[in-house]
Structure 1
Amino acid sequence: MIRTSAPVEAPAAGAWEELVTTALLGTDRRRPPGGAGREAPVALLDAAALQTVRRRAGLRPAPAAGRPEPAPADPRPPLPAAAARRLALLLADRPGTGGGGRRGTAPDLMELLPQWLAAANAHGYAPAPQALPALLDAARGRTDLRPAVLAFAGPRALWLARLNPDWRFALRAAPGGSASLPGPEDTDRIRRLWEEGLFAERVALLAAMRARSPAAARELLAGTWAAERAEDRLMFLDSLRTGLAPEDEPFLEQALADRSRNVRATAAELLSALPGSALAARMAVRAGACVAVDHTRGTPTIVVEAPHECDASMERDGVVPRPPTGRGERSWWLGQLLDASPLDTWSGRLGGRDPREIVALPVADDWQGDLHAAWCRAAVRQRDARWARALLGPPASPGAGGPGAVSLAERAKLLGTLDAGERAEWVAGFIAAHGLSEAFQLLGVCAVPWSAPLGRAVVDALNIARDAGSYPWSFSGVMGLAERCLDPAEASRLDALMAVPDETEDTSPGAGGYWAEAFQRLVTTLRLRSAMARELDPAQPG
């Protein structure tokens, strides 16, 4: 004889999982909260409805407390209706799961979201309140979106973030996110927030003050410097990059004696970015003793005598004594001295030559790679366009770049010192001479939308690769960049490329269909970007 157990009372908390269990077992075997007998099914449905509302609410269930303050007003104009609908579509998109490198012809909407946010912020629009949760969820999953999302979402997003732990990143990422920043005239509140605030609040306060009053921010930091933890000192010191000026030198010189090696290294890096600093002068003397021109050879040649030791004064100035694995000590020390030396000193040291002439000189004893790589890093650190041009060389030069750029990453950094027009012109020349196989990293530093010459160079190179029967999936990264960066006005020039090309014996199987899909997706995306721009600026012509 089989006995059935008597109904048991479900927990009063009524958690969703308990309700599901009760529904599966049946209300005759498991009693729902607030009901029994014939009333049990109704009570179960009532409890499920209540839990559904709680699960959908923006605030998790908790003991009753005082009502939160109303959300602050957002004075910005609302999005145009078409742009609001477009935002909802962009936020609802999910990356496809297709394999084999084929994405079809549909645009990747999530990849267009950063561009849409930048345009919306440029117009000064405010989002509809109902869009804020989806915006915060998108920023939670993609840290690269956070600055643009928080700027667009405005003060109401921070209000929401204080109510939902999942969105607390917004309080850390937004200046003053967890507390309204005091104005520059409110010195008492500034001092109280700096001395009593949470770490994220203090970082936000220092960053905001550094942007509007560098000297006041530096004085605030100096007042508590000795009592700060080493990791906090490092973070605070990094904020001095904003508005770095010769007036910061005395404070940074004191930081060179810090007990933390990382703090000392950061202080030395900041001082080396000030060509007129005493540290830069000391480094120039040390580096100058290591590099000279030998005129006794048939051709003037640079000779290098790397340091034989790393003394205490070098360590104090930020030279790290122990090299990484696989790197020789002397070349490691030499590189650090050259990194921190003002580039303007080399003309006088090396016979009055300009940067192009210096870079063109032969270097004895296989020191050229170390020497030019260090000059690359110094040009990037000091934002010296003249040296960057010399080290890059002509874009069509043999090999893959100029004599000093030993890697694509360094060439990309050197390009970052040039203005947007010159940068695009150099990369267009590089693509015309060398194709797209090494251009992806260089394209990433070019301003969006790409200039007409750069856009034409990319499209022409893609077309040449297609006609040559090249393996198509190796160009998917460049094609994805083109979708986001090519000027939408170029769409009309691409119509002829959307047809499936004839396949030859040398063509990769299925390549023609892939190329046709890729160009169709490119054209569709460009037209979509054009429509997005018109939706955000209804005054634009159709």
Structure 2
Amino acid sequence: MLGTDRRTPPPALTGGGKEGPVALLDAAALHTVRRRAGLVPARAGDRPESAPHDGRRPLPEAAGRRLVQLLDDRSAPSGGGRRGATPDLGELLPQWLTAANQHGYRAPADALPALLDAARARTDLRPQTLLFAGGRGRWLAGLNPEWKFALRGAPGGARLPGLQDAGAVHRLWEEGLFAERIALLSAVRAEDAETARTLLATTWATERAEDRLMFLDSLRAGLSAADEPFLEKALSDRSRNVRSTAAELLSALPGSAFARRMAARASTCVSMDRTGGGQVVVVEAPHECDAEMQRDGVLPTPPTGRGERSWWLGQLVEAAPLDIWPVRLGGRTPEEIVALPVLDEWADELHAAWCRAAIRQRDARWSAVLLGAPSASPSGGPGTSSLAERAQLLATLPAAERSAWLASFISAHGLSEAFQLLGVCAVPWAEPVGRAVVDALEIARDAGSYPWSFSGVMGLAERCLDPAEAARLELLTATPDEPEGASPGAGGYWSEAFQRLVSTLRLRASMLAELADARTG
């Protein structure tokens, strides 16, 4: 409209005695209507295919309402150091999804968008969410680019043909999305491992390196001596990561030719010192990393700060079967072997390699020996002081032995050293672990310890303690007297934290009872 009061619009626009600005607006409106009326309608796109049928049973009505509440997460804690006494609903969603999948429920159709949004924001939710969402969730994800993670991520939503239909199986293997192919390979392998290996071999040479790595990793489930020929071929793969994974899997097969080759190499490096009365271990690390060693997955170049010979030694020992050492070292037991002195400060390198071997071979006896007594200092144990590696060793122990060891460890060293180890215990925690954690928290409270330093353990306890412990913990919800020198306000914090713990345990009990209700909505 700028300038219409100084310049008269063309006569064609000012008919009817209208002033310039009004005439110009009328002309613009008329032109807009004319342009819109002249548009040719776009051709309608193809309708999406119908969502697949999900034959699983529906959620109980109460469990459906709980799912909406968890997804809304209206009670999420506010920022800052104090969380208050209200349960954190969002942190219970993974446990709810796991339990729902164990019961075999299907996701409510109207909850699928919120479930996919939650899984997009939190990668830890994806496997269980996609399993719960099923084929319908994957179908819906195909209509929204923001949910594309569901099409390549965890294979929970993949629709598989009947495994007896060889033609459909091969078509899906040749043409399917990655999630469908990895799910198909796992399903075929569970039914017939030989057919799965044959299927994998048909396209192996043309697969991308990252896909070959994932397919190879899927062989961990049900790994057996029959996989050895395929894995031996993978040792010559053009991808270093694929070669390393193949070597790792072969080393978990103590009877494989690979394991025998590694055993022969490692045996030449570690022996008893005959000059010292046969009571001391002597180590002679490799002087070179030849082509055959490299073909078997030994990496020639060490990380920064590591010596070449110690780097090669560690790789040989961790890949060698553990059962060679009692024979090689005088018929001694693992307990006696680990207790032997080692010359020339090779003990740490040798024990660390044995730790990795015990983890790789899932050897509970060696793991227990290398963990040492739970009362011993973590920095002075026979194996490793790395908490991550200690957690892996602990995970190889039988559940009851694992719980007893960790409970004693907490009693001896407190919670700060045990936090990472707690993650390998099944949920809900066994009674010894739960009692040890609560006792340690109570001791910290009574000592007036800085309360916020225990918030991580308290959050873990909310998710992992047995809900049946709620009644026993009720006494700890009272505000304690603050001892001299305690952190200001610590008593109130501890009271809130235990109130939240008790409330969360009761909420979890209700949540699990709702899912166990046989009356579905």
TM-score by length of 2: 0.89
Query: Residue in 2 aligned with 1:472?
Result: 451
Where in structure 2 are the equivalents of 1:129-528 lying within 5 Å? 129-175=109-155, 177=157, 180-297=159-276, 300-399=279-378, 402-528=381-507
Task: Measure, in 2, the Cα distance between the counterparts of 1:228 and 1:87.
Answer: 40
Closer/same/farther in 2, CA of residues 399 and 181 from structure 1, 3 Å limit: closer
Taking a change above 3 Å as real, the CA distance of residues 368 and 67 of structure 1, as seen in their structure-2 partners, is: same
Q: Match for 1:85 among 36, 48, 65?
A: 65
Q: Is the 8 A contact 2:128 2:156 kept in 1?
A: no
How far does residue 520 in structure 1 lie from its aligned partner after superposition? 0.8
Mapped to 2, the partners of 1:220 and 1:188 lie a distance apart of: 12
Equivalent pair of 2:134/2:156 in contact (CA under 8 Å)? no
Deviations 1:310-353 (A, max 9, x none): 11111111100000011110110000001100001101001111
Which is richer in helix? Answer: 2
Contact 2:54 2:134 in 1 (8 A): yes
**1:14 alignment partner in structure 2:** none
Amino acid at match of 1:117: L
Q: Distance in 2 between matches of 1:35 and 1:103?
A: 58
Output one character per residue of 1:373-410: Cα deviation in whole Å (capped at 9) or x when no partner. Answer: 11111001000001011111111124457310221111
**Which runs of 5 or more structure 1 residues have no equivalent in the other structure?**
6-26, 37-61
Q: Shift of residue 268 of structure 1?
A: 1.2
User: What do the CA deviations read for 1:146-194 (whole angstroms, capped 9, x no partner)?
Assistant: 111122122221221222222222222353856x422222222222333
Count, aligned residues:
494
CA contact (8 A) 1:392 1:401 kept: no
1:33–1:502 Cα change, 3 Å: farther
Contact 1:308 1:330 in 2 (8 A): yes
Cα distance in structure 1, aligned partners of 2:108 and 2:176: 32
8 Å CA contact 1:394, 1:401 repeated in 2: no
Q: Which deviates more from structure 2 when the two are superposed, residues 118-127 or residues 394-403?
A: 394-403
Matching residue's letter, 1:165: P
Cα deviation, residue 210, structure 1: 2.3
In the superposition, relative to structure 1, how do residues 487 and 235 fare at CA in structure 2: closer, same or farther (>3 Å)?
closer
Instruction: Please state how far the C-alpha of 1:4 moved relative to its aligned partner.
Output: 7.3
Q: Could you tell me how far apart the structure 2 residues matched to 1:478 and 1:149 are?
A: 26
How far did residue 238 of structure 1 move? 2.2
Q: Equivalent residue of 1:448, what SS?
A: coil
Is 1:64–2:44 an aligned residue pair? yes
CA–CA distance in 1 between the matches of 2:514 and 2:377?
A: 46
Q: How far apart are the structure 1 equivalents of 2:465 and 2:409?
A: 17
AA aligned to 1:316 is: R
Q: How far does the alpha carbon of each residue in 1:427-486 deviate from its partner, in whole angstroms, 9 at most, with x for none?
A: 101001111120100111101101111111100000001111111111111100100000
Task: Kindly indicate whether structure 1 or structure 2 has the higher relative contact order, using CA contacts under 8 Å at least 6 residues apart.
Answer: 2
Identity across the alignment (%): 70
